[in-house]
Every structure is written in C-alpha cells, then in structure tokens.
A = this chain, B = another copy of it.
C-alpha cells in the first residue's frame, strides 16, 4: 500500500494527541476502568450557509486506528515529562486499538447532529484517539462540503483544484485534492496528491514563466514547442486582450502542425467581460475549440455568478478560498462519550447538551429523493429507511477493503441528485428535517432526570 504522505508517519500515531487524553488514560488505568465506551462524532451546528455535510476522512481514521501504537521514542518522551507512572507506560507499550467503528461511508451526505462515526472500545483506547479523529474528519468534511458547493455552482462546467500553495499546511493540501475529487472536481494541480490518490494532474503556466522571456510572444511560443498537444496559455501577465492576440498566433502555428491549443487562462480582472471578449477573439479567428479557463480568487459564489451570467468559461481553477473553506474554516465537530459500560451518558453544559446512547441514522426516501432522517438508537429499526451507519471496523480490523476513490465520488454524485435543490442553496438553505426517535427522546429525558438537570 502506498503510505506516502500519511498524515502521521508510523511511530507518531501515539503522540498526536492532547495531553489530557494520556492523563485521563492513566487515571482510568489506575481505577482499573477498562469497560467498553462508545464515543459519537458529530457536528452540532452547521457552519454558515451549509445545508448538508459530506462524509469524508474515514479512510485516514481507519488507517490510523490500525497503526495506532506508541514507539519507544514516544515512551521515552512521556517518561521524561515525569507525569506518568512506569506501570502505565508499560501498559501503553503494548496498547493497540482493538475496538470497533461504525460510520456513514465517505461520499454520503449527512446532517447536523447526526453521528458520522461511532467508536466503541475499552475506554482508554476509544478516548485516546479523539484528537486525530476529530482533526481529520472535521477537516475533510469541511473541504469536501466546500468543494461540493463549488461543483454545484459550476452546473456541469469543469472545476479543478489549484489550492496546494495556500492550504493550511501540507496535510490540508493533500486532503483538499482528495476531498475535492470526491466532490466532483476533475483534476488537481498537486502532483503528489495526483500520484497518491490517482487523480488527473492539471496545470498551465505562471506569470513568472512569461516574465522570464524577453516577450510574452516568445514565452508562449517556447511553451507550445515544449507541449504541442497540451498547451494552456496564461493571458494576463501584461494585458489580457493583447495576450489573447498573442495566443491566437500560437494557436495558428500549432494548427499548421496539426495540433490544437487546448485553452487560455484568465487570472485577474473582470472575468465576465474578459471571457466574452477573449471568446470573440478566438471565435472570429476560427479557433472555437480553444477553451477558456478562469482562476484567481474564485469560490462557489463567484462561480455561481459567472455561470448564471453565462460567461463563456469552460473550466474554473479554484484555489485558496476553497482550500481553506474560507467562509467556514472550522466547525464545532465533537467526539462525545455516549455510553460507558452499558450505561448511556451525556453532559449538560450550556449549549452543548448531546443525547446519550449508541445511535443510528435512519433515512427516508420519497420518490427517490431524501425526505427526512430519524436519529434513533442503534438497536432500533425503522421500516422503510436506509440505515446510514455501517460497520467499518471490528476488533481493530477494517471489515472491508478500502473503497476506490471513484466509488466514493459516485456515491456523492448519487446522494447529491437525491437531495432537493433547496438544501443545496449557497445562501441560507433551509434545515433538512432530522427528528429524534421517541425512544431516543425517552432515554434523553431519563438520563437528564438522573443527572439532576439544573433548573
């Protein structure tokens, strides 16, 4: 298996955690608390303008859990902090993740308050993996959801991931390439991600390429000679319209040798008027096959505007704003204990109450369209619904081979078609209906009463 650029190299799985996970573990160990616990991972409140969430990140979670362990270097470090006892460090040395995981598969849509993943295992194991699990599923959910919004806005025109240089770090760059491909982007500029995930790589040229030649025409010509069958020319280094005329000359020269200029790229200015002007220039030169690509500051809102105005842009290169999910760079995703040793538990912190018990999400369809979800307990069954959480790991081992990325992408395409367009609105979508089952409501009331809910 290609382990290149795992988010955590083997030997770092143990320590990528919050210190309190380890101190709590030592306290559990000291109390001989090894009973099974279930933790539930969910987003409580939608980030701004989000009406759905895309499940993503599970693959990294499962690989991490399979490889979870403390290296000798980890243990030496922990010893040096003088926080931990020798018997606990001995225990950590042999510790592996032996629990089970149920999850909504990657590429499926889910909604606020629905667990996208539940981990069950001895409490120390299930607790200690919290930091990594939230880190990855939160990030990948945000990125896949942002990318799905861009694809929806593009209405069938192409979208490509140009974000690697301005994502928040290298891990995020890799995950943006992966998540945006799941969400329907056609390619990525990130070569390492293209290799790792089998995504088509894409690229054009930079302004510096133009500037390094004495003139734009010479730069265009040099590139076309190097790549006669895959040239995309960047027009705006000096002046976009003059650039278009220079590109026409290159296209004609390529045509003489039986090749076609693939496309030109706009990277600044008013994309709407420039794309129309450039389109006209190429059409009047009988070069209607030359495509127009736009990049620079694009997000779903800008893509939506250009598509609605029918600007003649064939492909959108989406970078920074999508790669950091700029309007929603974080969510309140949490990993909460819902059951310990068979006892359903919850907390009552203001604004952070979460219902107890191991759960299932039951999805109704109506005429092939998603109509509503029921959040219930895992031992319930709701006739006529699809159960969204499935077993993905038991006894520390995955229950199935990891799905192909294309399969995940197809799942999302299918789910998006089954989601009513009003929930896909880019601004203020309505809430998709998610109701708690009567049984979950009763359990919540009972546990709250036992805990003595503050008045």
Report how many residues on chain A are interfacial, defined by Cβ distance under 8 Å: 111
CB-based contact B166/A169 at 8 Å: no
Which B residues are in CB contact (< 8 Å) with A150? none
CB-based contact A208/B337 at 8 Å: yes
Binds B, one of A131-139, A280-288, A378-386, A399-407: A131-139
List 9 tightest A-B contacts by C-beta distance, closest first.
Answer: A19-B203, A169-B171, A20-B203, A208-B337, A168-B168, A27-B226, A15-B192, A329-B329, A169-B172
A302 beta carbon closer than 8 Å to chain B: no
Q: Which of B4, B78, B352 contacts A12 (CB 8 A)?
A: B4
Q: Mark A215-231, 1 if CB is under 8 A from B, else 0.
A: 00000001101110010
Which B residues are in CB contact (< 8 Å) with A11? 4
Binds B, one of A341-349, A389-397, A423-431, A434-442: A341-349
Within 8 A of B (CB), among A131-172: 131-132, 134-136, 138-139, 142, 162, 164-172
Q: Mark A25-46, 1 if CB is under 8 A from B, else 0.
A: 0111011010001010000000
In the complex, what distance in Å separates the CA atom of A449 from the CA atom of B130? 59
A190 beta carbon closer than 8 Å to chain B: yes
In the complex, what distance in Å separates the CA atom of A330 from the CA atom of B230? 31
- Looking across the interface, which residue of chain B has its beta carbon closest to that of A232? B20
| A130 CB to nearest chain B CB (Å) | 7
A433 beta carbon closer than 8 Å to chain B: no
CB-based contact A212/B20 at 8 Å: no
CB-based contact B201/A19 at 8 Å: yes
In the complex, what distance in Å separates the CA atom of A132 from the CA atom of B167? 10
Q: Which of B9, B19, B239, B454 contacts A191 (CB 8 A)?
A: B19
